[in-house]
Copies of this chain bind each other. A is one copy, B any other.
Amino acid sequence: MSLPESVVVLGSGAGALSCSVELSLAGLKVTLADLPRFADGVNAVGAAGEIRLRCPWHGETAAPVAATGTDPAAAIDGQELIVVSVPAFGHQAWADLLAAELKDGQSVLWVGEGGGALTLAATLRRTGRRPAVHIAETNSLPYGARVRGPGLITASRKSGGTLVAGLPAENNPLVAIACKVWPWMSPAENVWETTLLNFNAIDHVPPIICNLGAIEGRTGSFLLWGEGASPAVSRMIERIDAELLALRGALGLTNTDGYADYLVAQGFAPRREPTLHATLQSSSFAASTFPCGPDALKSRYLTEDVPYALVLMASIGDELDIPTPTIDSLIHLASVAAGTDFQAGGRTLADLDLAGAGRDGLLTAAREGRW
C-alpha cells in the first residue's frame, strides 16, 4: 500500500493543522482548505507556505503546505485523498458539501471525534448520490494540539491508542493509509468502535458538571482533573466508560480495553493504578488547565461532547435496550447548566438514518456502508 502523492485537508483548527503537518512530513503534497468564514487561519498558512510546529517529537520544525484555499469544492476536485478535521458540530455541514461533490475513486478520512463517517454515509443516502468512494474515521485526534499564532501550533503526539475504522469496515484502503501516516494509530473493528470510544465524552463532562461552582465562580484557570476529578467524580467517569463498554459488547466488539487502559496507551499516565482516581492523578491530566468564568459553559467540552457524543451514545443505548443512566443524567444536567436542550439539538441514530435498525441493522450499516 503506497500513499497518494497529494491530499487536501479540510478545516483550519489545531486538528487540521496538525494533520497537515504529519501528512506533509510523510511526503504528501498538502492543500489546506476551509470555508470562507475561516479564511484568516487558512490565509496565514498560505502566506507562509508552511505550518510551524513545536512539539516534543519533531522539535521545532516547519512543514511545507503546497496550496491553500477558501473554496473547498474547488480544492477537493481531482484529489484522491480528502482528510477532514473539524469539530463534531461541523460534521453535517461538511457532509453536505462532500455528498454533493464526491466523485468515484475519492476517499474521505475524518480525523477527530467519531461520527463523521456515518454522517457522510447518511447524507449520501439522502441525496441519492452513489459515488464509489471510501470513508473512514478516527475516534480521537492523534495529537493534543493548540493553535498558538498564525500558522503556528504546539502539539503533543499520543503514544498510541488512537483508532481508525473504515466505512465499509473491510477492504478499506483508508485504514492502512491512516496507520502509515500516523504509525501510532491502530485499526478499529468498525465505526461503532470509533463512535463508542470517545474519550472526550467520557472524561470532559463529569468534571465540569461536578465543579460548576469553581468553574463558573472563578477567574483564571481550574485544574479540571487535578482539582476536579475527585474520587466521586472519577467514579462517574468510570460509569460512563462501563456503559460504553456494555454498548460495545452488545454490538459484538471484541476490544474490552477501558478508559484507564487508554490513558496509559496514549501516554498520559505511566501505568494503571488501583483506582481510576489514582490513575488520573498520576497522569499529565492532573496539570491540565481549563479556563474559568461564565463562558466556560460554552466550552466545546459541553457544546460538542454532550450533543454530538453523549446524545448519540444514549441513542445507541435506546436502540439496543442497554441502559445508559449516567450518560442520560449528565446530558440532562449539562442541558440545565448550560441553558440549552442538548438532547433536542443532539445527534441521534435518527439523524444517521439508523433509527429502528436494531443491532443487526447497525452492524450491517458499519460493515457494508451502503449509500
Contact = CB atoms under 8 A, between A and B. Distances in A.
Nearest to A232: B337
Interface string A306-341: 000000000000000000011011101100111100
Interface stretch (A9-17, A163-171, A210-218): A210-218
Contacts of A239: 336
Closest A-B pairs by Cβ, 4 of them:
A329-B329, A232-B337, A216-B230, A213-B228
A229 interface: yes
A338 B337 CA distance: 21
A230 to B, nearest CB: 4
Interface of A: 207, 209-217, 227-233, 235-236, 239, 294, 297, 325-326, 328-330, 332-333, 336-339
B214 A337 contact: no
Contacts of A329: 328-330, 332-333
Contact of A232 (B231, B233, B336): B336
A233 B46 CA distance: 45
Contacts of A330: 329, 333
Contacts of A231: 216, 294
A212 B330 CA distance: 14
A338 B230 CA distance: 12
14 contacts: A209-B209, A210-B211, A212-B230, A213-B227, A216-B231, A217-B227, A217-B230, A231-B294, A232-B297, A233-B337, A236-B333, A236-B336, A325-B332, A328-B332
A366 B186 CA distance: 63
Please tell me how many copies of the chain the complex holds: 2
A229 B210 contact: no
Contacts of A215: 230
B211 A212 contact: yes
Residue from the set A209, A229, A230, A233 with the largest chain B CB neighbour count within 10 Å: A230
Contacts of A325: 332
A33 to B, nearest CB: 38
Residue from the set A229, A297, A332 with the largest chain B CB neighbour count within 10 Å: A332
B228 A336 contact: no
A325 B325 CA distance: 11
Contacts of A211: 210-214
A328 to B, nearest CB: 7
Contact of A336 (B212, B235, B297, B339): B235
Contacts of A210: 209-213, 337
Contacts of A209: 209-210, 333
Nearest to A222: B213
Contacts of A326: 332-333, 336
Contacts of A213: 207, 210-211, 214, 227-230, 233
Contacts of A236: 333, 336-337
